[in-house]
Every structure is written in C-alpha cells, then in structure tokens.
A and B are shown apart, each in its own frame.
Chain A
Amino acid sequence: MDIALNISSALCLFLGSFLCLSGGVGIIRFPDFYTRMHAAGVTDTLAASMILIGLMLQNPDAIVILKLVMILLMTLFISPTTSHAMAKAAMNSGLQPLLDKKENKDGVESS
C-alpha cells in the first residue's frame, strides 16, 4: 500500500515538474505577451494541481490533505483573475497582440 502511494505520488510530482518546465519553456519560446500568458496558464492549472496531488499522496494526515485542497482551490480561483487583469491592462495600454494573418482575416469575415 505504501509503495503504491509512493509510486503514484512520485508520478504526479514528476508530471507536475515536467508541466512546470513546459510552462517555463513556453514563456521563453512564444513570440509575444499574450501567447506567453497561455504558456503560464499550464503552470497555473495542471502543473500546480499535479504537484499538490502528489504532495497529498505523500501525507495520509486528513488536515494536511484538506489544507492542500484549500491551496489548490485558491490557486484555481486566483490565477484566472490575475491572468485576466494582466491581459486587460496590456490591452488598455495599447499592446497589440501578434496575430496569425490567415486566421485573423477569417475572424473579421465571420464577425
């Protein structure tokens, strides 16, 4: 039982770390502010969840698990709010997003 818990915990932590790394790579690789924000979204959601779930499996204590669940819920409420605030601030200060030419033309035609 302990071994199973440890292995699944390790798997979750490994996956979470990989997703965090991917988010970081995305922030460097993507071309402009708005696309980079999407990469940060990976770190905010699934990576954070995976690491917290991994930590929950490490510790069978109910109060620790509930605290971690609380942290997870708060992350999931706070991160979209901050993302939106950043995007809106960038848009209001006139930063134009880098758009794909073909896709954008389609968007204009359909609207």
Chain B
Amino acid sequence: MRHTISLSLALAAFWLLNSGYYTPLILGLGLVSIIIVVYIVHRMDVVDHESQPLGLSGKILFYYVWLGKEIILANIDVVKKIWLGKDAISPVLTTINISQKTDMGKVIYANSITLTPGTVTVNLVADQIIVHALMGENIQLLEAGEMDRRVSRLENSC
C-alpha cells in the first residue's frame, strides 16, 4: 500500500511538472491517466520495494553529491586523455569483488561505475563485476573501495 501511494504521488508530480496547466479538464485527464497507470502496474505486479525504494530516498542525496564530485574529477581526467591522444591511455579489463548483498545495491554500484567516465561495467556475475577502464589508475581507485563502502552503507541504511 505504501508503495502504491508513493507511486501515485510520483506520477502526480510528474504530470503536474510536465503539463504546467492547472485547468479542471487537464487535471481530470491527469487523474484518469494516473489511475490507469497504477492499475496496469498492479496487474504487472511490479509495485514493490524494488521499483519504489522508499528507504533510499533521503540517504541517496548525499551519495549523489559525492558521486557528482567524483564524476567531475573523472571527466577532467578523461578529457585530458582525449586531447593527449591514444598514447596517454592504457586500457585494462579486470574483475573486481563487490560487497553488496542486495540486487539494489549491486545495481547502484555497477551504475555508478559506468556513470563515471573512464570506467564501464561490462558484466555482473554473483558478487564479482568485470570492469573495463581507460587507465590502470582507475582500477586501483575502485579497488581501494571508497565507492564500494559508500554504496554498502547506503544499502544497509534502507
């Protein structure tokens, strides 16, 4: 029930933001659409803690701030490599162990790695991920495990 309410609220916010018109007709159409979508989603049986991770919502903002900083640093690094040319890079493909238990945690970690320029998650099997990196240093940074620790903390808090 909690998840259904949060889904309806999210859909309502989405509609209001996208339309920007507040006449009765438009709002009524929005209400009907939301009811139809919630009905379909219920039939598909996908309203659960995985599609609506309520516990994450607050904590994840701090993680986003940290991830944003990391992304900016990685971007500067990759742009430097781009202008220096292909002699500056040394691509690596390695397997890294991850400590996350839930699917949600694993997905957050794998997506964060891919989102950071210079590293891409190629595959995820059980508790190991295969990462392709532009530089060896990127892998060392991942193996140092700060991102891994932060995602695990995020995972445990929800």
Write out, one digit per residue, whether chain B residues 96-131 have a CB within 8 A of any chain A CB (1) or not (0).
000000000000001110111111111100000010
The distance in angstroms between the C-alpha atoms of A81 and B121, with both chains bound, is: 10
CA distance A79 to B75 in the complex (A): 15
Contact, CB under 8 Å: B83 / A42:
no
- Inter-subunit contact B115/A79 (CB<8 Å): yes
Q: Please give, as numbers and ranges, the residues of chain B lying within 8 Å of A88 by CB-CB distance.
A: 122-123
B91 within 8 A of A: yes
Residue A99 is within 8 A (CB to CB) of chain B in the complex: yes
Q: Does the CB pair B132–A31 fall under 8 Å?
A: no
Are A41 and B118 in contact, CB atoms less than 8 angstroms apart?
Answer: yes
Q: How far is the CA of A63 from the CA of B111 in the complex (A)?
A: 29
Q: Which range contains the number of A residues in contact with the other chain?
A: 35 or more
Nearest chain B CB to A90 CB, angstrom units = 8
B136 vs chain A, min Cβ distance (A):
5
Interface of A is mostly: helix
Does A14 belong to the interface (CB within 8 Å)?
A: no
* CA–CA, A14 and B134, complex, Å: 26
On chain B, the number of residues with a Cβ less than 8 Å from chain A's Cβ atoms is 39
Please state if A80 and B123 are interface contacts (CB–CB under 8 Å). Answer: no
Check if A46 sits within 8 Å of B83, measured CB to CB.
no
Of the candidates A22, A32, A84, the one whose C-beta lies within 8 Å of that of B114 is A84
Among candidates B85, B92, B120, residue contacting A100 with C-beta atoms closer than 8 Å: B92
Given contacts A41-B117, A87-B132, contact A104 B92 (CB under 8 A): yes
Are the C-beta atoms of A39 and B93 separated by less than 8 Å? no
Q: Which of B66-84 contact A (CB under 8 A)?
A: 71-72, 75, 78-79, 81-83
**Are B120 and A46 touching (Cβ within 8 A)?**
no
Residues of A within 8 A of B114 (CB): 41, 80-81, 83-84
| Contacting residues, chain B, for A87 (C-beta < 8 A) | 120-122, 132
Q: Which residues of chain A are within 8 angstroms of B71 by Cβ–Cβ distance? A: 45-46
Contact (A103, B120) CB under 8 Å given A80-B115, A97-B91: no
Q: Which of A41, A67, A107 sits near B120, CB closer than 8 Å? A: A41
Residue A70 is within 8 A (CB to CB) of chain B in the complex:
yes
Q: Could you show 12 A-B contacts with beta carbons less than 8 Å apart?
A: A26-B78, A30-B82, A30-B86, A38-B134, A41-B117, A46-B71, A80-B111, A91-B122, A97-B93, A98-B91, A103-B90, A107-B93
